[in-house]
A and B are shown apart, each in its own frame.
Chain A
């Protein structure tokens, strides 16, 4: 497995080069002027534009920009945004928040998703199963922003249990409701996925064997049924952790969370390539690393899979 891991890590290099190249290219193809609307109501003074063009070498071709970016990245320099803030600072501010939010979300998916999936799979056709069928359908059908605004209104305004918006520190407890909102759709998918694999494996021969061995029901389910059933669920959760980290624009917007998604959204809006490119690069790296971890975990869960 060691050699496999090294090979996968080496594969990261061309992937990161390729994705950053494409991102760079696309950002520079965006129509519009990065200095439109940057100076309030009036157009920016020609002197300011000239100064910025000079500072960020904006009159050079984009391929030059790309190479400069790579060169700086190698020494760990993410550059400065058009506002003069170091991008490394922006990353350090937003990433911890996004990671906390994603972890809260994934915790909901694991605890509620797998829990409900297993319970309903074991008692197929029962009350809980039907209840969960309707509830998951609800979460699958309703857009995230509707769930977000509804919960914000109900829990934040109508029955003030939480603050409607999250403070800049974004503490764990403040992220519970936003994390639930963020993960609601995927949670419903996990419930259904876990339920169907449980139902399928419940009738499998090795579960019958485990019963025939006279093992207690708890052990048949907890040891024999669960581990096999969780393999596809773990794959889904892994790929989804990557999604949760990058795709929180809507949730972050609703609850005013200063995370990666919102920051990226604003940067794209302002044509600030100095922020977009490094941020997406880190996103790509995170996504790929999580995927690698999932693939390795997959081999741990299922010994029939061998990497060499």
Chain B
């Protein structure tokens, strides 16, 4: 792939040639009354300009928490980043001062949340909330910021933006609200966009439109996109690579094609098998047995072992590292070869 011009320029600016954003051995824990919940246990992933990384996992897998750690918006207490590094253009965000991090937040790294109705402030107009980005970060006047807000709303294709800029979030439909969220996130042309389940609260037709919009915006601006989801269907069309998370760890990392064709971890395999398929209509849907682990008491060894059909003695006692399956591909399963061969 040829490096796009915009990206080449940006790299020249910073004189740095590693990944745009790199999460390295990240640990996040929540100190609760009942004990310490290890939400993220040594997660590493990276995303490059123009690339889409999907972080896949069920509730409590740590996918959202790792994203919040990147943004620096974990409620602390109870949440603490205890180990690891988050390198943005080579500099570790975790070592920056609060003020330096704030300047990156929303401007260089932005985030879209799941439920736009609760994520937008109900008592301010969407115009105010969009314009706020320009007024605070760029010091624009009220009028100039409002004009930029209208431009943004046009860009995410909200009809009649000039009138609707004065409306409140509750006056928009779910899809339009999510467009507002997206507009807010891309307002200042961020380098990395984190979308945390951006389509979960929407119905299927709107989901497709929103994903299309995100893909288009990404193409235009060469952002690195981290797409957090539990929905394999959403991932297939837009992502370049997938990181599958379970109990705060990455259990498999692969290109979309490889993962769909030949999963190398029993958990990813189970996820793929639990997608309803038209050609198997009438037969019982395969499901992963058991419950997601309690993060206060993560199972010993491989955290997935209580639910795993490949379970052996070693799975209970020894935690599998992320084995190299192929270049750029890893699986945290002692028996990845068996899984890969479909045995």
- Which A residues have a C-beta under 8 Å from some C-beta of B? 203-206, 208-216, 219, 224, 227-228, 301-304
Contact = CB atoms under 8 A, between A and B. Distances in A.
Given A209-B121, A216-B136, 7 more contacts: A206-B119, A209-B181, A212-B105, A213-B136, A216-B102, A224-B121, A303-B122
Interface string B119-134: 1111111000000110
B121 A228 contact: yes
Main secondary structure of the interface of B (DSSP, over half): mixed
A212 B110 contact: yes
Interface in B134-185: 136-137, 168, 170, 181, 184
Contacts of B124: 224, 227
B133 A209 contact: no
B111 to A, nearest CB: 5
Contacts of A216: 102, 136
A213 B106 contact: yes
Contact of B121 (A203, A210, A212, A301): A210
B136 A206 contact: no
Which residue among A203, A211, A227 has the maximum number of chain B CB atoms within 10 Å of its CB? A211
A303 B136 contact: no
A206 B119 CA distance: 4
A215 B71 CA distance: 13
A209 B136 contact: no
Contacts of B73: 208, 211-212
Contacts of B104: 214
Contacts of B113: 205, 208-209, 212
B123 A227 contact: yes
Which residue among B104, B124, B125 has the maximum number of chain A CB atoms within 10 Å of its CB? B124
A224 B133 CA distance: 13
14 contacts: A203-B75, A205-B115, A205-B118, A210-B121, A212-B73, A213-B132, A213-B184, A214-B102, A214-B136, A215-B132, A215-B136, A216-B136, A228-B121, A301-B123
A303 B110 CA distance: 27
A215 to B, nearest CB: 6
A206 B121 contact: yes
Contacts of B181: 209
Contacts of A215: 102, 106, 132, 136
Given A205-B115, A205-B119, A213 B133 contact: yes
A304 B117 CA distance: 12
